[in-house]
Every structure is written in C-alpha cells, then in structure tokens.
Amino acid sequence: MSAVLTAKDFATSQDVRWCPGCGDYAILKAVTKTLADVGARPESTAFISGIGCASRFPYYVETYGFHTIHGRAPAVATGIKLANPEIDVWVVTGDGDSLSIGGNHLMHALRRNVGLKILLCNNEIYGLTKGQYSPTSRTGTRSPSSPQGSIGMPVSPGLFALGSGARFFARAIDTDKAGLGDVLKEAYAFDGAALTEIFQNCIVYNEDVFADFTDRKTAADTQLRLKHGEPMLFGADNEKGIRFNPDNFSLEVIDAKVAADQVLRHDVANKVVANMLVELKSPVALGVIYKNAADSFEKSWYAARKNGLKRSSKVADVLRSTNTWVVS
C-alpha cells in the first residue's frame, strides 16, 4: 500500500467530459499531481462536489467521490469529516454552486473551520445551464438572462471568505501549473477550512474574462505573487511594490527602487492587509493571501467527546439511569 503513486494513478477510467479548452482540465491535472506529490492515499481521500461544470470533478479522480446536489457539498463534507476525521476531504465547487445556491453552507464551513480543502472554480458565469450571469459576474455582464447587462454588484469570494471567518484563503490561475500546485499543497497541509479561489476560464460562455491579468505577456505587471515574509514586489524587474497608505487606509503601488523600505512584507496571518489584498484590482493578488491556523471544527468536536464516536456505556444501563420502579 505504500507504493509511490503518480498523477496518473489518480485518473479514473471515465472520459473527461468538459468542453475542449476548459480551464477545469488544467485544474484536474494540477490536483492529481498535487495528490501524488503530497503522497495522498486514494482510499483515504474523498472528493465531494455539488452541481455545475466543476462539480463533475469527482468522476475523474481515482479516490472516493460523491457528486451531491446543488450548493450542498460543504454540508455533506462536514458530515463525512465528523463521521471520520481521518479522511482527506476535498470540496470542488463553482461560483454559482458555492456563492449563490450554496452560500450559506460555504459561510458556515468556513466559520466553523471544518477541515475541508475547498476549490472554488470561479468562471464568473453559469456554464452548465448555458451561460447565465453568476453571483461573481461583473456588473453589466450580458447573458441570456441579462440581455441588457447584469445589475447589482458581484460578490468578492475573498471578502466573503474573510468576512465569514475563513482561516485560509488563496488564489491561483487555472493554467498556472506552478502557482496552482504551490497553493494546493499549502491548502492540503492546512488543518481547517482552506478555500482556494481558482480563476477558471470558461471558453464557451465567458472566454478571457480574466485575460486582463492572466495573459502571460503582461502577467509580470498585472499579478502580485505573494510569499509569506517576502516583500510585495512585481513587475518584470520587481521594480514595483505595494505600500500601505496611512492617509486613506489603502494599498497603493509605488516605485520599489525609490522607496524599498516602504514596500510591505507579506504576513499571511495579517487579516487587515488580507482584506485589502483581495480587493486589489491591479495587480491582482495571487498565492496564499491569508492563513492563520486554529483548531479545526472536527478536532474541537472530538476534543469535547471523551471517546469520540465510540460507545462507553450500554443502552440498558442508560435506560435505568433515572427514577425507576419495580412492579412485581
């Protein structure tokens, strides 16, 4: 059982049925590679999903997998984690699944800090139902259900997560093999709810919606790759940096060559800065934005129970542990 497994060992016999060019292929590849890299055991791993394109994920991973109902994967996963905390539970979800119909469950999984690795494949659109605007679609998104453009503000997954009390929030781009892999490994190692927002390109209904910062040609200037303890630098020559402006309580881009001492160093445990980083539009912050470990829900749940879910008394005795009387 201790044989070293490769990414291929985590592939199932099923034909993958996403649209050609879908970002989900790259995510699947990164996940199976991560499983192999971290030495995950297939029999102790479960992928749980709701409904949507991304939620087909469990069929394609050679582990335990449960494709449940729309929005409810975090709730099913919580039950699994309480029943057997030894299982590595991954939740694969989309923006509609987790932030519209399932928003409540995501919020509570995060605030409870249930030990789930949650992959939020955000394509800012409803793909499986053929292209309606989603809760993360930008205002004005034209879609079959919003021919004049969507109205209302989109939800920010990062702010939602931090506001819900998430203790791990990271971001990556679907096709960024290295960046996504690094983040997934950190999520895997995190003992609690780890939410990773993956910018996922929907080639059919929302193509290139993230191109303004994912385009490799301009990536150096549009992406801020965060590393704990390191200065927040970007640009082809790391010539730009992020500074905290105390006058308006915001982050701003400065010339790092001129004012190197003012560039912030990334501290993953700083929630105030994390809240500002997730709102940064240019550059877009990537990597582990916030990480601040605390006891997981299941750990606290079991700590409060002397024998876990094992029986330490007999029903026959408990039935009599009250006032009884004998009729003879």
Partner 1 sequence: MSDFASMDSIVVRLAGDSGDGVQLMGSQFIASTALSGKDFATFPDYPAEIRAPVGTTYGVSAYQMNIGADPITTAGDTPDVLVAFNPAALKVSLPLVEDGALLIINSDSFTARNLAKAGYAQDPRETGELDSYQFVPVDIGHLNLEAVKPFGLSKSDGGRCKNFWALGLLMWMFDRDLTPIEDWIRRKFAKNEVVEDANMAALHAGHAFGETAELAEAIPRFNVSKAQHAAGVYRGITGAEALSLGLAAAGELADRPVLFCSYPITPASPLLHRLSRLGELGVGTFQAEDEIAAICAAIGASYAGVIGVTSSSGPGIALKTEAMGLAVNAELPLVIVNAQRGGPSTGLPTKTEQSDLYQAIYGRNADTPIPVIAAKSAGDCFFAAIEAVRIALRHMTPVVLLSDGYLSNAAEPWLIPDIGALEPIECNAPPAPDESREAEGMAFERNSETLGRPWIAPGMPGLMHRLGGIEKDISSGHISYDPENHQRMTNMRAAKVESVAKFIPDQKIEVGPDEGELLVVAWGSTYGPTYQAVQEIRRSRRDVSYVHLRHLMPFPSNLGEMLGRFNQLLVPEMNMGQLSTVLRDKLGVDPTPLCKVTGQPFLISELVEKIRSMLPPVMVVADESAGKGKAQ
* Shortest separation between residue 326's beta carbon and partner 1, angstroms: 6
In the bound state with partner 1, the residue whose beta carbon lies nearer, of 148 and 323, is 323
The partner residues of 122 in beta bridges, in order of sequence, read 199
State the alpha helices, DSSP H only, in 149-248.
157-164, 177-189, 211-214, 219-222
Q: x/- string (CB under 8 A) for partner 1, residues 261-300?
A: ----------------------------------------
16 near partner 1, judged by CB under 8 A: no
318 near partner 1, judged by CB under 8 A: yes
The residue among 287, 25, 295 whose CA lies nearest residue 175 is: 25
Stretch that binds partner 1, among 151-159, 263-271, 288-296, 312-320 (CB under 8 A): 312-320
In the bound state with partner 1, the residue whose beta carbon lies nearer, of 104 and 139, is 104
CA atoms within 13 A on the CB side of 281: 1
4 near partner 1, judged by CB under 8 A: no
Q: Which of 6, 104, 145, 250 binds partner 1 (CB under 8 A)?
A: 104
Q: Residue 186 carries which DSSP code? A: H
Run of H or E residues at 92: strand 88-94
Q: x/- string (CB under 8 A) for partner 1, residues 29-68?
A: -------------xxxxx-x---------xx--xxxxxxx
Stretch that binds partner 1, among 77-85, 162-170, 199-207, 245-253 (CB under 8 A): 77-85
In the bound state with partner 1, the residue whose beta carbon lies nearer, of 195 and 289, is 195
Whether 134 and 95 have beta carbons less than 8 Å apart is answered as yes
Q: What's the CA gap between 177 and 168, in Å, rounded? A: 20
2 near partner 1, judged by CB under 8 A: no
Length, in residues, of the chain: 328
DSSP strand E in 95-236: where? 116-122, 125-126, 132-133, 168-173, 194-199, 223-225, 233-234
163 near partner 1, judged by CB under 8 A: no
Q: How many CB atoms lie within 10 A of CB 227?
A: 14
Token digits of residue 116: 């789930």
- The binding site for partner 1 (CB under 8 A) comprises 1, 12-14, 42-46, 48, 58-59, 62-69, 72, 75-84, 86-87, 104-105, 107-108, 301, 305-307, 309-316, 318-320, 322-328
